[in-house]
Structure 1
């Protein structure tokens, strides 16, 4: 047997990426032709569509996604333009996962191609490409942020930190629930770089890059908040309703003295209909006419958001571990069949659009909404049947990320650390900041779980030469 020394293993060629991209396009095109049905979720989809059609800035949802709809569906004169655009987002997400796997995690290129295909046909990905919701675009931006962080580790080039911060604020603008993940990740790449042995990175350089990452994140987030405040004709912020959303999250921690400290009558809590101490009632506190938010709004008027933020601060100061307790209680509901079934029905979008929005869709975008939204199209049925898979993704992501980090070993120490911390951060954010169980909230989990599985199970074989004979 003859061993011929060779150069280090090269990255996949442009032809590899072209063939993979064409394969993904063919898959998506076939699936779009097989199931072009688009679906709508409660008031969220109506808000996004109204924003796209009129330029209205929603106080409690992403205006950026409304712009996305305007420049895809409205510009094309067809809601199908949104389906095409979101399918392209799915292709880009799959390619980013493959790129991360090969370039940063040392995964075999054939396994990376399989990973891309699995991400592209994953149930939540296909379903939300057909939903008028920000999940598909938001997850793409989240993967772009992660990719920039890993690219910084690979190259040590600080402009990647600027790109990472930009992708991060776009992620937040689309999916406010990912704010804790984005803020936490902003400092991780420079810190992970310091763990790389033999990288010859001085602590001064690490510190400078950390300052760049933090400064870029702060500047972009403040700029976005000011832009949103200007567009919505209100104070700067991520959302005009951010205070009441936070109050809904911590509602079970609110006590009469918290209202008294901000100058409100503690007896207001007696007007609240849903059980205040029940973590499962937090959604009701946000939306019902006798919920905590509605009661507060009737009492405080235009000062509601400011007072809500103050109440939240006092409630958390008095019980800092309360979020953890509520998060554990809510997460446990993923194992309660009645809770998961009801949430799945909501996430499937089985409620009809308003008559006015159906008319707007028909006249402006040439789309006739389904007469019976409870009747599921193939992608929706696929999503419904995959409920257990999403729960597995939630609970398996953190341990699998740790296994992948151990498998990567010292050769890719910084990448292993960054992967594990990113996965743990996503799980922690879901645990602490979700007021309900929701399969929609789990949309970013499957791509990351599949990425970790590829890193753990399919590392590229390292050889010093080619064997002949």
Structure 2
């Protein structure tokens, strides 16, 4: 067992965790009774449902979440089983947040419990527990990765790095947009461990652990890509449509010469109807029947694999030739969070205000006993709660980096390793969101509140932790 600075209140007993889990479970159960309405995001939810019902492997979305739906709602023949399972994910996320706060950051157990309750009541958390979307499960896996990283700092035992790599792989399998965060996190716990390590032996041990983290992450990600390629009967990759998503992100940077370098006629760009240079038209380039991806698909005679090869080549060349332009795109998208018209439209879209296709409605009614024909027209209580939270989520996005730096400064003399890991993790999450998002999207911000709450607590509660600090076994 490792001796670390702590207080009696930062080493909760099993009874504490049991009571906290029961309290969170009772809270979630009460909210399920209060508002059991389940909602759907057109496109994503349809793909997930079709995957769950038929075993189809989506080329552009998580197949793992389809299995999650199958082994909750489909196996029961009852859609609310998905709501219950995702609410359980919310309970576990709250417990992980409390664990990071108490054991990782040395915060009072009452503060840790308060963080868990606040996360359980957080608008995006409650809303996406009721959405047929991968956010709730994906954030749980992300927090599991973070928790393994903090556990490594407490004990400096390499098996935690294996758990971290496994949780990170599951995160990417559920939410591809978090890939940069997951890959960047692989080295952060060993690097944070250097904050208090001295001597050649300590450095060698940390270096060895860094190698373990990198190799475990690389091996598991490679294994996942091989598995996905096998199931899809295509090349090993994260998503078969990853190339088109990459091209959609950098579409305004594409020039005729990039198509020529990829072996296509430059004149193809004349067939693209959405304005190619408009950063706000990037979603249209992905999905519109006359967008850039559709034009490439037509040039490939409908061959998806050929379209992906062209998209990867064009995207890599466009990005390589105009890094400043790519950064400008990130600035433009970031600025849209302060445009009321853009945020209103995106919030309306994220609420699931478009009706599911009739075949999907029929499948829900016949196989899962749920009538979704009017759900998109209603504003149930927790939907209104999420709708009113737009400014809160924007605050989380833009306050996380300064809060993380404040938490690091407040905890520099004590819990330096954990505070450094928290800060670097938060900065990486913000950078990943601002650099690799092509639209304003509130659902992309789902993981942010948990880290904002942790940084706030680490900043505000740090003086108490210092006054009461003492060495104790855990």
| TM-score normalised by length of structure 2 | 0.95
Q: After superposition, give the CA deviation of every residue in 1:108-153 in whole Å (9 maximum; x if it has no partner).
A: 1111111110000000000000000000000000000000011101
2:308 to 291, 305, 323: 305
Q: CA RMSD in A?
A: 1.4
1:375 and 2:378 aligned: yes
User: What's the offset of the Cα at 1:414?
Assistant: 1.2
Q: After superposition, give the CA deviation of every residue in 1:382-425 in whole Å (9 maximum; x if it has no partner).
A: 00011100000000001001111111122211111111110000
CA gap of 1:31–1:327, structure 2 versus 1, over 3 A, is same
- Counterparts of 1:248 and 1:201, CA distance in 2: 48
Q: After superposition, give the CA deviation of every residue in 1:22-47 in whole Å (9 maximum; x if it has no partner).
A: 11111100000000000000110000
Q: Which runs of 5+ in 1 are unaligned?
A: 1-6
1:408 to 383, 408, 411: 411
- Counterparts of 2:383 and 2:72, CA distance in 1: 23
| TM-score normalised by length of structure 1 | 0.96
Aligned to 1:317: 320
User: What's the offset of the Cα at 1:199?
Assistant: 8.8
- Conserved? CA contact 1:87–1:129, under 8 Å: yes
CA gap of 1:443–1:464, structure 2 versus 1, over 3 A, is closer
- Conserved? CA contact 1:77–1:366, under 8 Å: yes
- Counterparts of 2:198 and 2:115, CA distance in 1: 31
CA gap of 1:430–1:401, structure 2 versus 1, over 3 A, is same
SS at match of 2:296: helix
Q: Which runs of 5+ in 2 are unaligned?
A: 1-5
- Counterparts of 1:424 and 1:54, CA distance in 2: 40
- Counterparts of 2:307 and 2:469, CA distance in 1: 66
SS at match of 2:43: helix
SS at match of 1:91: helix
User: What's the offset of the Cα at 1:368?
Assistant: 1.0
SS at match of 2:374: coil
- Conserved? CA contact 2:39–2:375, under 8 Å: no
1:257-276 correspondence to structure 2 within 5 Å: 257-276=257-276
Aligned to 1:93: 93
Aligned to 1:3: none
SS at match of 1:392: helix
Aligned to 1:240: 240
- Conserved? CA contact 1:194–1:201, under 8 Å: no
CA gap of 1:282–1:349, structure 2 versus 1, over 3 A, is same
Aligned to 2:3: none
CA gap of 1:139–1:253, structure 2 versus 1, over 3 A, is same
1:428 to 427, 431, 449: 431
CA gap of 1:420–1:347, structure 2 versus 1, over 3 A, is same
User: What's the offset of the Cα at 1:282?
Assistant: 0.4
1:397 to 382, 400, 410: 400
- Counterparts of 1:177 and 1:97, CA distance in 2: 22
- Counterparts of 1:463 and 1:205, CA distance in 2: 31
- Counterparts of 1:200 and 1:417, CA distance in 2: 21
Say which is worse superposed, 403-412 or 284-293, in terms of deviation.
403-412
- Counterparts of 1:230 and 1:83, CA distance in 2: 30
User: What's the offset of the Cα at 1:261?
Assistant: 0.7
SS at match of 2:438: coil
User: What's the offset of the Cα at 1:218?
Assistant: 0.6
CA gap of 1:374–1:195, structure 2 versus 1, over 3 A, is same
CA gap of 1:464–1:264, structure 2 versus 1, over 3 A, is closer
SS at match of 2:133: coil
Aligned to 1:4: none
- Conserved? CA contact 2:356–2:373, under 8 Å: no
- Counterparts of 1:274 and 1:283, CA distance in 2: 10
- What is the count of residue pairs matched by the alignment? 459
- Counterparts of 1:370 and 1:25, CA distance in 2: 30
Aligned to 2:125: 125
- Counterparts of 2:403 and 2:224, CA distance in 1: 35
- Counterparts of 1:299 and 1:309, CA distance in 2: 15
1:39 and 2:27 aligned: no
User: What's the offset of the Cα at 1:322?
Assistant: 2.4
- Counterparts of 1:345 and 1:328, CA distance in 2: 23
SS at match of 1:313: helix
- Counterparts of 1:8 and 1:333, CA distance in 2: 45
1:52-67 correspondence to structure 2 within 5 Å: 52-67=52-67
- Conserved? CA contact 1:51–1:66, under 8 Å: yes
- Conserved? CA contact 1:324–1:431, under 8 Å: no
- Counterparts of 1:249 and 1:97, CA distance in 2: 32
CA gap of 1:129–1:317, structure 2 versus 1, over 3 A, is same
- Counterparts of 2:368 and 2:177, CA distance in 1: 29
- Conserved? CA contact 1:408–1:416, under 8 Å: yes
Q: After superposition, give the CA deviation of every residue in 1:190-230 in whole Å (9 maximum; x if it has no partner).
A: 11111125698622111111111010011001110010000
- Conserved? CA contact 1:361–1:367, under 8 Å: yes
